[in-house]
Structure 1
Amino acid sequence: MSPIILLSLLLQIACCVHVVRTGRPLYWIFIILVFSYLAVLIYFIAEVLPGLRNNPAARRGLRQVRDQIDPQRRKRQADQRLRVSDTVDNRRHLGDEHLARGEYAEAAAQFESAMRGIHREDPELMLGLAKAQYGLGQAAKAKQTLDALIAANPSFRSHEGHLLYARTVEDSGDIDAALHEYDALVGGYPGEEARLRYALLLKRKGRDGDAVVQLRNILDRAETSPRYYQQAQRAWIDAARKELRLLEPAG
């Protein structure tokens, strides 16, 4: 069978299945089967594409595809918005884009520029600045920024911010204080990074048994989690499995 005919059949079957599963008018099946590629294209534009635009998961997928094709797109758009309107939000968005690309000096400059007047103690800006400082290897400065954030915004809560704070405390050499921060964090952290870092610090402290408990917890959670969660946390899960293999024989 010709590849062109085979592709046409596959597309027609897929569209017909979509018609039935989504409750579209059944006349679409007749149109799709009779007019082949043209009908598939029309059906996609008329029925499938609007649904993708209204589906959050589909929108995320489309954004990821666009970002892979044009990695600088989001940063370019943020830069254009800032040039049109120099606002705090636009500086924050551009700072976030720099952070995502590991451009920490540029990110710090954007956050610092936005921290003026009534926004001097804005928690989101202060957290962004602390991330940039930590990325630049300035852990002590990042901790100072986070301490100032906590003092100025005692009701502010951020899992990312708490993890960053625990890491700055760990880097300061105060292992017991860092263990306290990780212990307070892991219960509600939406991911496995905090648990893995906690386990590694427990191991560093010589508490191998407690480290094993945390590592097993990571793997147990992974086994009962949806596939998308396992994929998103793959690096931390694999690291936990590797560390557990190193620790269990000694236990």
Structure 2
Amino acid sequence: MYWIFILFAFPALGSIVYLLAEVLPSAAGSTSARKAGAAARKALDPGREARDALVQIEISRTPGNLRRAAAALLATKRADDALVLAREAASGAFAEDAAMMFTLAQALYETGEFGEALTQLEAMQTAHPDIRHPEAHLLFARTLEALGRIDEALATYASVADYFPGPEARARWAMLLDVQGDTVSARARWQEILTAARHAPKFVQRTNRRWLDMARLKA
């Protein structure tokens, strides 16, 4: 019960430690729990994963290690560095590997290369027509929005929101509806987020606080 001392001594840090020590183990089998655990660990040491991944590249510069390092750099907002590694990872025999293609598309998006990001996502869809990848689907919607293809972006947000784990896809859909002046539809999407959240475990609500707080303001 070491977390009790931390909780009282350092309330913010203690809450994270409590989440790791007490809440997540009881729900460790769920996807949401795994994501919440990863988020908590990143909050404790946001740069650790990137540091470890870069060390692994020095040991062995494999496509897998390159992709993991690129993803870790993206998580710490080092998109330019991530793009260099992602391009190297998604080359040669791994040019059509789904994980490599997605990480490269992420890096392209985060560096503002929206046209190339869209091309990469379309190539991923062609190479893997049966793949179910909610994160890539959401990135596709965001890329269409960034390129000003609003009608296509709205349709894609509507599609991915039906199965994306968590409220982010529906929230981004609502945000775009708001920007387009469709406040009635946007408010309905925000309300859907709040309705779903009422049935979600507390740790899931904490993980998605950004989107839930936004929904409470907008609904």
| Normalised TM-score (structure 2) | 0.78
Alignment match, 1:130: 105
In structure 2, the CA distance between the partners of 1:236 and 1:87, relative to structure 1 (3 Å rule), is: same
Query: In 1, are the aligned partners of 2:47 and 2:76 still within 8 Å (CA)?
Result: no
Residue 98 of structure 1, CA deviation: 0.6
* Whole-angstrom distance in 2 between the partners of 1:66 and 1:204: 32
Is residue 2:182 matched to residue 1:207?
Answer: yes
Q: 1:202 is aligned with what amino acid?
A: L
In structure 2, the CA distance between the partners of 1:61 and 1:221, relative to structure 1 (3 Å rule), is: closer
RMSD value, Cα? 2.8
Q: 1:169 is aligned with what amino acid?
A: L
Query: In 1, are the aligned partners of 2:46 and 2:76 still within 8 Å (CA)?
Result: no
Could you report, residue by residue, the CA deviation over 1:73-107 in whole angstroms, capped at 9, with x for unpaired residues?
A: 32222122221112111111111111110111111
Percent of paired sites with the same residue: 34
Q: Which has the higher relative contact order, 1 or 2, with Cα contacts under 8 A spaced 6 or more apart?
A: 2
Residue 173 of structure 1, CA deviation: 1.5
Residue 207 of structure 1, CA deviation: 2.5
Max Rg structure: 1
Alignment match, 1:140: 115
Could you report, residue by residue, the CA deviation over 1:198-239 in whole angstroms, capped at 9, with x for unpaired residues?
A: 112222333322222111111111122110111011100111
* Whole-angstrom distance in 1 between the partners of 2:90 and 2:185: 42
Q: 1:86 is aligned with what amino acid?
A: R
Query: In 1, are the aligned partners of 2:144 and 2:153 still within 8 Å (CA)?
Result: yes
Of residues 65, 72, 75, the one that matches 2:47 is: 72
Q: 1:234 is aligned with what amino acid?
A: R
Gapped regions of structure 2 (runs ≥ 5): 6-20
Residue 243 of structure 1, CA deviation: 1.8
Alignment match, 1:84: 59
Residue 62 of structure 1, CA deviation: 9.9
Of residues 74, 86, 89, the one that matches 1:99 is: 74
Is residue 2:215 matched to residue 1:240?
Answer: yes
Residue 67 of structure 1, CA deviation: 6.6
Residue 118 of structure 1, CA deviation: 1.6
| Normalised TM-score (structure 1) | 0.69
The number of residue pairs the alignment matches comes to 193
Secondary structure of residue in 2 paired with 1:195: helix
Secondary structure of residue in 1 paired with 2:96: coil
Query: In 2, are the aligned partners of 1:67 and 1:74 still within 8 Å (CA)?
Result: no
Alignment match, 2:201: 226
The within-5 A match list for 1:43-58 is 56=28
